[in-house]
């Protein structure tokens, strides 16, 4: 509802013509700077989502999104250069063993060698003899096209050594990099200066074509096989955030959701149930696919399968061998990420796209259509870059950025008029001092745009007061009479505070929270000292006014009351507190807490009408800048005391006199042992 309609119900709140003109000018400025606001909102949302992304908050969503895009790619079919000889449960039952003996493996290798494979990879641990036939296996493995495995492990206890009789160039580790969600998406090519099983097999296959590996001429830290450079991923590649990329890792570019190569069982090879061309010139990988072998892992294709959700270890090694061969020989691209600055730019692009398209839209149907179009365009672009250029860009982060920016723009436009109305009501209805009104006036444009005053750090003097004896008064008066009595008291105290350039931040029943040096900050120490002097002088005058009020109330048959005052000088933060439905000008900080604790400290130690306690910080300002203070006031040093809720003790002083024209004498010191004592009452000396 327009603010004039609201104000028309309250004649006293009708804004003056000048205020109406201000609101109109502000609305015009807002409409003229719509493009800037879209940019600002987009940058803010990008910063927020980007920070969450950098902290790893979206990785658990980005990785499944990446898997989804991998599953959407066309199936490239099996790699004809590979053959997998699998050891199945049927084979183990036939052999009547949990793992084939060395003799069986030797027979298998010898049978394969008859048909001249380029490379044979044995994905079986043979660090210990599996008799019978260990000597036969040693002889069978004594061929240069054989590659066996070792396990590096995370610790020495996890390490499984290779067969002791094999040279290093015929050994590769079979350790796999498993992401936090248990899925294998990366190909670890080198670790601890040792090649992987798949890397060693690929090099063995490529030797027949005189292709070898060497450091990249342009970057010695990168590996090059033939003319293909394998650029390693970084901890923040694609959707990863702070991933462990130790060693030399590239993204595993899976070739097929189905079998990566032709599978043939151990029994079929030994029984001759195969065609020789299946083996000739191929990379043959030998490994177990028996469920009892527990060598199964999740892949990006696992969620899309109705059965056989996991792939065997030997099949994953085959995928890695195929990737290395295809990248080297077939120019098949490697999946890569982008630099960090590009990722931030990617988020900002979609934030601007979403915010810019919905800025001038009103209807919910159009907003829904635009949001859908933006998300479809984002999905197609992200998938298209992965499909055409093997470029992995985050998907969930820009999706959240676009949606959040759209929501922010819609919310901003929906609340724009309400924010203007709220500013008008604050300016007209704020029951506070002229200083706060001036602060609101000076910040009116920021108030319109943000709906609140920004926080500001400054040094001021805080004062808390409370009445002693209020309960006796409340017992003798009706609620209506008590309210009149309390308003009379608060009216007098508020007038004194304003006379001493203070502001009333809030009333707490019969208590008052006042501040000096707020909201217009006092920058110079001399000005801060003057604020402290005004606060002390104000407290003294409040005590005198209370004495006069007590005389009046006693004449009416009411008991007298006394007052406690706590004063502290220090840093505070001022600004608006609350939300859209309730907002006030607030002051927060440890200085406020100390002043409040001083007021309530040791309530029984009060004999005068107005007990005034000040902190050591306040006394220090008065002492250091005494030349700026016109008069003096004697102090009593209470030493360092412990206040409720404070771990550190606070130096406290009591104002001794209640002269209506107070004088601050600021040379009070503590005796060497910190005991309380009366300061010499030497006024005007």
pLDDT in tens, 596-644: 999 888 877 777 889 999 999 998 888 877 654 445 567 888 888 888 8
The answer on 313 and 166 residing in a single domain is: yes
What is the rounded CA–CA span in Å between residue 288 and residue 99? 9
CB 611 within 8 A of CB 654: yes
pLDDT for residue 646: 79
Closest CA to 285 of 367, 344, 200: 200
**HSE-up (13 A, CA, CB side) for residue 554:** 9
Do 324 and 241 lie in a common domain?
yes
Q: Which of 43-57, 64-78, 598-612 has the lowest average pLDDT?
A: 598-612
439 within a domain of the structure (yes/no): no
304-313, 382-391, 392-401, 423-432: which has the minimum mean pLDDT? Answer: 423-432
Same domain? 55 vs 125: no
Q: What is the pLDDT of residues 531-583, one digit of tens each?
A: 998 999 899 999 999 999 999 989 988 888 899 999 999 999 988 777 656 66
State both tokens at 27. 């609305």
DSSP, collapsed to helix, strand or coil, labels residue 188 as: strand
Pick from 538, 385, 366, 339: nearest CA to 72: 385
The number of distinct structural domains making up the chain is 3
> Are 466 and 564 spatial neighbours (Cβ–Cβ below 8 Å)?
yes
**Distant-in-sequence contacts of 4-12, Cβ < 8 A, 24+ apart:** 6/421, 6/425, 7/424, 7/428
CA distances in angstroms from 630 to 93, 569, 683, listed in the order given: 105, 19, 12
In a domain, 435, yes or no: no
78 and 139 share one domain: yes
- CA-atom Rg of the chain in angstroms: 41
Name the more confident of 66 and 358.
66
pLDDT value at position 423? 54
With b for 16 or more beta-carbon neighbours within 10 A and e for fewer, the 112-138 pattern comes to: bbebebbbbbbbbbbeeebeebbebbb
Joined together, the tokens standing for residue 210 give 């005189």
Question: How far apart (Å, rounded) are the C-alpha atoms in residues 487 and 477?
Answer: 14
Is 524 part of any domain? yes
CB neighbours of residue 682 within 10 Å: 10
pLDDT at 1 over 60: no
* Cα–Cα nearest to 662, from 631, 629, 638: 631
Cα–Cα dist 141/672, whole Å: 90
Model-level pTM?
0.58
Domain boundary pick from 303, 329, 355:
329
Residues 23 and 128 in one domain: no
Distance CA 115, CA 6 (A): 93
With contact defined as beta carbons under 8 Å apart, do 223 and 187 qualify?
Answer: no
Among 329, 364, 382, identify where a domain stops: 329
Which of the pair, 670 or 626, is modelled with greater confidence? 626
The separation between CA 194 and the C-alpha centre of its own chain, rounded to angstroms, equals 38
What's the 3-state SS for 148-174?
Answer: EEEECCCCHHHCECCCCCCCHHHEEEC
Tell me whether residue 672 is in a domain.
yes
125 and 218 within one domain: yes
Residue 409's pLDDT is what? 86
pLDDT of residue 418: 62
Across the range 581-595, mean pLDDT stands at: 83
Q: By three-state DSSP, how is residue 606 classified?
A: coil
| Residue 335 forms part of a structural domain | no
Sign of CA pseudo-dihedral 463, 467, 468, 471: negative
CA distances from 573 to 184, 242, 520, 593, 615 (A): 51, 36, 12, 13, 19
The C-alpha angle 546, 551, 552, rounded to 5 degrees, equals 95
Q: State the chain's mean pLDDT as an integer.
A: 83
Closest CA to 503 of 566, 461, 455: 461
Q: What percentage of the chain exceeds 70 in pLDDT?
A: 83
Q: How many Cβ atoms sit within 10 Å of the Cβ of residue 356?
A: 18
Task: Please tell me the predicted confidence (pLDDT) of residue 660.
Answer: 41
How many residues are recorded in the chain? 685
Q: Are residues 266 and 406 in the same domain?
A: no
Domain termination site, one of 380, 396, 429: 429
Is 581 in the same domain as 459? yes
- Residue 639 shares a structural domain with residue 534: yes
pLDDT, one tens digit per residue, over 443-460 is: 555 554 555 567 788 999
Phi, psi at 121, each rounded to 5°: -110, 125
Q: Is 444 part of any domain?
A: no
**Placement of tokens 């292709």 in the chain:** 211
| Helices 364-389 and 396-429, axial angle in degrees (round to 10) | 150
DSSP letter (8 states) at residue 628: G
Which position has the higher pLDDT, 364 or 199?
199
Confidence (pLDDT) at 419: 61
> How many other C-beta atoms lie within 10 A of the C-beta of residue 604?
5
Residue 410, pLDDT > 80, answer: yes
In a domain, residue 523? The reply is yes
Alpha-carbon span 67 to 312, nearest angstrom: 18
Q: Are 393 and 238 in contact (CB under 8 A)?
A: yes
The one-character DSSP state at 124 is S
Give the confidence band of 157 by pLDDT, cuts at 50, 70, 90. Answer: confident
Of the candidates 321, 288, 394, the residue with the CA atom closest to the CA atom of residue 351: 394
pLDDT of residue 16: 45
The residues facing 678 across adjacent strands are 636
Q: What is the per-residue pLDDT for 655?
A: 86
Cβ contacts of 101 within 8 Å, gap of 6 or more: 95, 130, 131, 132, 133
Asked whether 258 and 78 are in contact (CB, 8 A), the reply is yes
Task: Name the band, by pLDDT with cuts 50, 70 and 90, for residue 440.
Answer: low
The mean pLDDT value for 75-90 works out to 94
**Beta carbons of 668 and 622 less than 8 angstroms apart:** no
Provide the CATH number for the domain around residue 520: 3.30.70.1230
Highest-confidence segment of 20-24, 146-150, 457-461:
146-150
- Burial pattern 53-68, b for ≥16 Cβ within 10 A else e, equals bbeeebbebbbebbbe
Q: Half-sphere exposure of 333 toward its Cβ, with a 13 Å CA cutoff?
A: 11
pLDDT of residue 70: 93
Supply the pLDDT for residue 672.
28
Give residue-wise pLDDT tens across range 467-524.
987 877 888 888 888 888 999 999 999 999 988 888 888 888 889 999 998 877 788 8
pLDDT on residue 159:
93
Q: How far is CA 500 from CA 369, 422, 486, 566, 574, in A?
A: 61, 31, 21, 16, 20
DSSP character string of 317-329: HHHHHHHHHHHHH
Claim to verify: residue 157 and residue 264 sit in the same structural domain: yes
Split at pLDDT 50, 70, 90, the class of 333 is very high
Which distant-in-sequence residues (6+ apart) come within 8 Å of 373 by Cβ?
357
Domain containing residue 183:
73-329
Residue 443 lies in a domain: no
Question: What's the burial of 339, exposed, middle or buried (CB within 10 Å: 0-12/13-18/19+)?
Answer: exposed
HSE-up of residue 559 (Cα within 13 Å, Cβ side): 13
Which region among 279-283, 438-442, 654-658 has the lowest average model confidence (pLDDT)?
Answer: 438-442
The mean-pLDDT minimum among 17-31, 44-58, 443-457, 664-678 falls in: 664-678
pLDDT at 203 exceeding the cut of 50:
yes
Residues 344-387 have pLDDT tens digits of 999 999 999 888 888 777 678 888 888 899 999 999 999 999 99
Which residue, 597, 564, 465, 571, is CA-closest to 517?
Answer: 571
Q: In this structure, are 149 and 11 located in the same domain?
A: no
411 and 472 housed in the same domain:
no
pLDDT category at 677 given cuts 50, 70, 90 is very low
Counts of helices then strands in the chain (DSSP H, E): 20, 23
Query: What tokens appear for 628 in the block?
Result: 């700026």
* pLDDT surpassing 60 at residue 88: yes
32-45: average pLDDT:
80
């Amino acid at each position: 509802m327009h603010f004039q309609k609201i104000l028309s119900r309250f004649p006293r709140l009708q804004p003056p013509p000048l205020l109406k003109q201000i609101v109109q000018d502000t609305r015009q400025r807002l409409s003229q700077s719509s493009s800037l606001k879209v940019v600002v909102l987009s940058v803010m949302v990008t910063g927020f989502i980007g920070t969450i992304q950098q902290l790893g908050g979206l990785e658990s969503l980005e990785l499944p999104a990446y898997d989804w895009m991998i599953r959407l790619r066309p199936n490239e079919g099996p790699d004809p250069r590979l053959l997998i000889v699998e050891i199945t449960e049927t084979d183990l039952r036939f052999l009547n063993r949990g793992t084939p003996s060395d003799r069986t493996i030797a027979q298998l290798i010898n049978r394969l060698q008859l048909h001249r494979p380029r490379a044979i990879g044995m994905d079986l641990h043979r660090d210990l003899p599996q008799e019978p036939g260990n000597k036969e296996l040693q002889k069978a493995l004594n061929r240069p096209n054989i590659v066996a495995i070792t396990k590096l492990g995370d610790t020495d206890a996890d390490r499984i050594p290779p067969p002791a009789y094999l040279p290093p160039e015929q050994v590769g580790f079979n350790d796999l990099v498993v992401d936090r969600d248990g899925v294998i998406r990366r190909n670890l090519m080198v670790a601890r200066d040792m090649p992987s099983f798949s890397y060693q097999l690929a090099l063995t296959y490529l030797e027949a074509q005189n292709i070898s590996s060497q450091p990249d001429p342009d970057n010695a830290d990168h590996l090059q096989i033939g003319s293909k450079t394998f650029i390693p991923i970084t901890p923040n590649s694609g959707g990863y955030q702070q991933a462990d990329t130790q060693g030399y890792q590239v993204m595993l570019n899976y070739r097929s959701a189905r079998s990566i190569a032709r599978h043939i069982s151990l029994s079929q090879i030994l029984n001759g149930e195969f065609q020789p061309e299946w083996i000739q010139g191929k990379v043959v990988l030998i490994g177990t696919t028996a469920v009892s072998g527990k060598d199964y892992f999740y892949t990006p294709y696992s969620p899309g399968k109705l059965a056989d959700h996991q792939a065997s270890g030997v099949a994953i090694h085959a995928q890695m061998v195929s990737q290395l061969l295809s990248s080297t020989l077939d120019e098949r691209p490697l999946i890569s990420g982008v630099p960090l600055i590009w990722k931030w730019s990617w988020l900002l692009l979609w934030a601007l796209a979403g915010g810019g398209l919905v800025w001038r839209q009103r209807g919910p149907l159009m907003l829904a259509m635009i949001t859908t179009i933006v998300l479809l365009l984002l999905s197609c672009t992200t998938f298209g870059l992965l499909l055409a250029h093997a470029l992995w860009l985050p998907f969930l982060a820009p999706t959240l950025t676009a949606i959040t920016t759209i929501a922010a723009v819609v919310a901003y436009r929906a609340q724009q008029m309400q924010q203007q109305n709220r500013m008008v009501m604050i300016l007209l209805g704020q029951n506070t001092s002229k200083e706060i009104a001036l602060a609101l006036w000076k910040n009116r444009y920021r108030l319109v745009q943000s709906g609140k005053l920004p926080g500001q750090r400054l040094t001021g003097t805080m004062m808390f007061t409370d009445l002693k004896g209020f309960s006796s008064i409340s017992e003798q008066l009706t609620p209506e009479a008590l309210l009149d009595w309390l308003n009379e008291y608060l009216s007098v105290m508020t007038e004194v505070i304003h006379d001493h350039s203070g502001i009333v931040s809030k009333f707490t029943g019969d208590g008052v929270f006042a501040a000096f040096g707020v909201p217009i900050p006092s920058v110079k120490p001399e000005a801060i000292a003057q604020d402290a002097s005004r606060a002390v002088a104000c407290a003294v005058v409040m005590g005198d006014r209370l004495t006069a009020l007590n005389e009046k109330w006693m004449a009416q048959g009411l008991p007298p009351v006394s007052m406690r005052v706590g004063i502290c000088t220090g840093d505070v933060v001022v600004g608006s507190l609350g939300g859209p439905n309730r907002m006030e000008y607030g002051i927060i900080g440890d200085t406020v807490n100390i002043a409040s604790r001083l007021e309530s400290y040791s309530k029984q130690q009060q004999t005068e009408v107005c007990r005034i306690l000040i902190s050591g910080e306040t006394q220090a300002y008065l002492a250091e800048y005494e030349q700026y203070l016109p008069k003096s006031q004697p102090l009593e040093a209470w030493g360092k005391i412990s206040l409720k809720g404070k771990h550190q003790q606070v130096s406290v002083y009591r104002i001794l006199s209640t002269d209506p024209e107070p004088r601050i004498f600021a040379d009070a010191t503590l005796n060497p042992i910190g005991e309380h004592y009366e300061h010499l009452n030497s006024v005007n000396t």
